[in-house]
Structure 1
Amino acid sequence: MPEEILQTHKLLDRCERSLAERFTVHKLHEAADKQALIRDISPRIRAIAGGNVDAALMDKLPRLELIANFGVGYDSIDTKAARERKIRVTNTPNVLNDAMAEITIGLMVALARRIPQADQFVRQGKWLKGSFPLLSELNGKTVGILGLGRIGKEVAARAQAMKMRVVYHGRNRQPNEPFIYYDNLADMARDADWLVLIAPGGKSTEKIVNRDVLTALGPEGFLVNVGRGTLVDEPVLVEMLQSGGIAGAALDVFEKEPTVPEALFALDNVVLSPHQGSATHQTRNKMGDLVVANLDAHFAGEPLLSAVV
């Protein structure tokens, strides 16, 4: 008999087909009575495909051994609780690095040159009445990266190709990287023209970009967030965008998605994106494949491909 697993949210069709070929899949997100489903299957579930797993759910699955998360970020999983219960956790790193780096640079160009606004300028016939305003370029500017991990390094490489100077802040200096390291985020923001956020979410990074950091970035500085909405003190960001405290922001993530502060809709100095950083066919299929591969490895007694716990 195939192993039984619990799927906690919708996954790509290709991933779901692969799971169905290998396992008996119980879809928690489709259950009319979720608690009844958990009670029925709990003695047989050794693995979960997906995220949104807290300690309470773990405790209802006494044989749970693995949570195969879909995504590089795993802040929707209580990893401390998993570690205490000796439950392994995997994520899907590396396969989304290029997609994330591409959208980061794309958002920077879109913000610097106001590409969405320029599109509307043409569509609304405003070009007939005068020229679009002069704006700025990326070349020659300094970009400060918060989170020089796998994705951050890909962004850095592309920023250098755009003739930008790269600096970074993180928990530790990386001695093998050629970029200047700042141990204080506000100091880096002060010295940067662009502040790019690619750090993970969680309590340790919640509102790490606060009023002090945004004030240091200043009225000529731009913010790009492709990490997590919780990295930024969102009300303060809105206030400073409205007042000119910073020059602009390009945001792919928000604190309470899919809810976006309505005040941002009226601002010309923002570019808004619906958390689509890794949302390409190529990347999402690779992410799904890695979820399946980690499950296969676990049940075969082989090393996990991308364990985080």
Structure 2
Amino acid sequence: MKVLLTDQVFPSVETERALLSEAGHELVIASTPEDLRHHLADADAVLTTYQPLPEEVLSTMKNAKIIARYGIGVDNIDLASAASRGIMVTNVPDYCVEEVAEHAIAMALSLHRRLHDADASTRAGEWGVASVRPIHRLSTLTAGFLGFGRIGRRVASTMATFGCRIVAHDPYATDLPSTVNGVEMDELLGQSDLLFLHAPLTAETRGIINADTIARLPERAIVVNVARGPLVVLEDLIAALRADRLGGAGLDTFPTEPVDPGLLIDVPNLLVSPHTAYYSEEAITESQRKATNQVIKVLSGEKADYPLTAG
């Protein structure tokens, strides 16, 4: 069967090609928009990363049995439309949990310990704690989590080892550990000295961190977003940093990517990275292998490991 790769973002797709060939399938890589439209019409399966697949695109797909996304979020795919057409949608929700959690924690700790200020003052010939005051013990702070899935739980367990009190708001999490306090959104905002965003991007969560919600955070709270960029209204966050309302922000994702670097010039206490929290060599290989295996399983009539629609 024909398996279409909509957007080639990896250094190599030999993993996909070898697995699919062994299963008797052909891998086709779209090279132009016209090429993409042509192959979507009769592809039996689709592998995708960032390519938007809205209803008007899905309506052109006559043979597709599965759309397999390499990553975790599927906001680039119209799930309802796929389900109505009997197309299975899968993701790989467990491929980079370690990496993203590590990245979030690294950002939070760097901002909390004000390492950027310490580095700058040391290089400027200053000595002592004047440039980093005030810093409070982590054990006196509350770490809050908006979204409490695999990654959020891993970050929370690490922050708890530093003595942080842990609170979480996730309407879909029903089995919170006894060490985690489930709270409503208002309580989350009011209590989080460190706010970690681990929510999916939905109509309800888009722009959820904005001028109003930032104003409800404790003074000089730190916000870390390694989830989806549009969770945050970037202009509001930057304004809060410039006004010294927030103690810091760590952003790995942005509403528009690549982000306009001009927006980031001279923004105080802002730590950014270019959507790399997911990355390690091992994570990339795992994502490619697992996404491809979903295709192979569904095309052979087996159950997918990570179904998001019934198909």
User: Structure 2 matches for 1:54-65, cutoff 5 A?
Assistant: 54-65=54-65
Alignment match, 2:182: 181
Alignment match, 1:38: 37
| Amino acid in the other structure paired with 2:89 | V
Q: Are 1:201 and 1:231, in contact at CA under 8 Å, matched by a contact in 2? A: yes
Give the superposition deviation at 1:201. Answer: 1.0
- Please identify, of 291-300 and 211-220, the stretch whose mean Cα deviation from structure 2 is larger: 211-220
Q: Kindly indicate whether residue 154 of structure 2 is the aligned counterpart of residue 154 of structure 1.
A: yes
Structure 1: distance between partners of 2:190 and 2:132: 25
Structure 1: distance between partners of 2:91 and 2:151: 14
User: Structure 2 matches for 1:203-242, cutoff 5 A?
Assistant: 203-242=203-242
Structure 2: distance between partners of 1:79 and 1:283: 25
Q: Kindly indicate whether residue 16 of structure 2 is the aligned counterpart of residue 19 of structure 1.
A: yes
The alignment of Structure 1 onto Structure 2 pairs a total of residues equal to 298
Is there any run of 5+ residues in structure 1 with no aligned partner, and where?
Answer: none
Q: Return the match for 2:46 from 48, 54, 62.
A: 48
Higher helix share: 1
Q: Are 2:92 and 2:290, in contact at CA under 8 Å, matched by a contact in 1? A: yes
Superposed CA deviations along residues 189-235 of structure 1, whole A, max 9, x for unmatched, are 11121111010113221111222210111432111111111111221
Q: Are 2:6 and 2:47, in contact at CA under 8 Å, matched by a contact in 1? A: yes
Structure 1: distance between partners of 2:36 and 2:285: 28
Structure 1: distance between partners of 2:299 and 2:202: 30
Give the superposition deviation at 1:139. Answer: 3.0
Alignment match, 1:306: 306
Give the superposition deviation at 1:97. Answer: 1.1
Q: Are 2:6 and 2:36, in contact at CA under 8 Å, matched by a contact in 1? A: no
- Please identify, of 137-146 and 284-293, the stretch whose mean Cα deviation from structure 2 is larger: 137-146
Structure 1: distance between partners of 2:69 and 2:36: 21
Q: Return the match for 2:4 from 3, 6, 25.
A: 6
Report the RMSD for the aligned CA atoms in angstroms. Answer: 1.9
**Cα gap change, 1:37/1:159 in structure 2, threshold over 3 Å: closer, same or farther?**
closer
User: Structure 2 matches for 1:108-257, cutoff 5 A?
Assistant: 108-122=108-122, 125-126=123-124, 128-131=125-128, 133-135=131-133, 136=135, 137-172=137-172, 174-178=174-178, 179-183=180-184, 185-257=185-257
- Aligned to 1:45, the other structure's residue is in SS state coil
**Cα gap change, 1:131/1:268 in structure 2, threshold over 3 Å: closer, same or farther?**
farther
**Cα gap change, 1:236/1:71 in structure 2, threshold over 3 Å: closer, same or farther?**
same
Q: Are 2:101 and 2:155, in contact at CA under 8 Å, matched by a contact in 1? A: yes
Structure 1: distance between partners of 2:244 and 2:92: 38
**Cα gap change, 1:27/1:246 in structure 2, threshold over 3 Å: closer, same or farther?**
same
Identity %: 25
**Cα gap change, 1:192/1:36 in structure 2, threshold over 3 Å: closer, same or farther?**
closer
Alignment match, 1:273: 273
- Higher RCO structure, 1 or 2 (CA under 8 Å, sep 6+): 2
| Amino acid in the other structure paired with 2:244 | G
Q: Are 2:229 and 2:253, in contact at CA under 8 Å, matched by a contact in 1? A: yes
Structure 1: distance between partners of 2:196 and 2:142: 11
Q: Are 2:149 and 2:173, in contact at CA under 8 Å, matched by a contact in 1? A: no
**Cα gap change, 1:117/1:289 in structure 2, threshold over 3 Å: closer, same or farther?**
farther
Is there any run of 5+ residues in structure 2 with no aligned partner, and where?
Answer: none
**Cα gap change, 1:84/1:116 in structure 2, threshold over 3 Å: closer, same or farther?**
same
| Amino acid in the other structure paired with 1:210 | N
Structure 1: distance between partners of 2:36 and 2:277: 33
